[in-house]
Amino acid sequence: MHFSKSTLAIALAATATTVAAESLRGPVVQSTLDQLPSPDIHCNKKAHDSSNCSSVESSTGDNCVWCQVKENEGACLSQDDAGYVMDLFNLPCPEYAQLLEGKKPVDTPDFMCMLASIGGEQACEQVTASDGSNCVWCTGTHAPSACLSTKDAKIADDKFGLSCPSVNEDVTVTTEEVEVSDQPNIDPGMIDTTCFMAAWNAENAEEACGSTEAQDGSQCVWCETQGDTMGACLVSKQAEIADGKYGLSCPSEKVATYVDTDRD
């Protein structure tokens, strides 16, 4: 986005006042700053205030957001414009900040360690996570045991029925990416996260799993847990090994299809 009216930008910066988000309840009057550089005219109108701004659509189809300028004044802006004034002028735009928070990518478990779960605790201790830290064996009480990265283990410890006793040990983390070939207990052919990620990012994990193919062209396999309350989406080769372990039950016909194809 290009903003050319530098004098107005300076004037806007001079009016910036930090206002706590909790003090922005209720309508406040539209600021006279309707001459914001390149404002989205769908949002930036005097008829819009803090009570109705978010119900208005910008020219790009996104909801407009309210940004505070003074104690009792603000501006209804497009999300692009809101990002501009937040970055350059430190003006509070709590609605836009919440939208950004919601768009942050969700961290996924370290797949390198998760694959080592198949080999049990001994295999887990010999494998390194993608960030260079040690994998940690977490013993399950009401859930299957699992091999997790140090970062994931810190989150899971004493939650989900998992106990990760070595999670607080000193860990050295490297910025170098760990190669699969350096791992003593992982078959390089099993490092396919396509199925796992398809289910992880979906609203309906099982449905997404059934409509996704692995890198080798085989269909992803949905493995149910005991009681059918949860599950895991795996590549056929992963499902073949995981079936009957960790409370997982993987459809034998789909696993067998992979094995037959692999042997031909």
Same domain, 92 and 170: no
Q: Tell me the pLDDT band of 13, cut-offs 50, 70 and 90.
A: very low
- Supply the range of the domain harboring residue 132: 105-186
Domain assignment present for residue 33? The answer is yes
**Mean of the per-residue pLDDT values of the chain:** 69
Lowest mean pLDDT among 103-117, 148-162, 196-210: 103-117
Q: Tell me the pLDDT band of 86, cut-offs 50, 70 and 90.
A: confident
The number of distinct structural domains making up the chain is: 3
Domain assignment present for residue 1? The answer is no
Q: Tell me the pLDDT band of 227, cut-offs 50, 70 and 90.
A: low
Same domain, 11 and 98: yes
Pick the last residue of a domain from 186, 209, 224. 186
pLDDT at 10: 27
Q: Beta strand 73-77 with 29-30: parallel, antiparallel or unpaired? A: parallel
| Selected residue with higher pLDDT from 174 and 80 | 80
Q: Tell me the pLDDT band of 168, cut-offs 50, 70 and 90.
A: low
SS3 state of residue 83: helix
pTM of the model: 0.40
Pick the last residue of a domain from 186, 206, 227. 186
185 and 152 Cβ atoms separated by less than 8 Å: no
Q: Tell me the pLDDT band of 143, cut-offs 50, 70 and 90.
A: low
- The pLDDT > 90 percentage for the chain reads 1
Identify which of 148, 182, 185, 184 has the alpha carbon closest to the alpha carbon of residue 167: 148
pLDDT at 183: 47
Cα separation, 173 vs 191, whole angstroms: 21
Residue 124 has pLDDT above 50, yes or no: yes
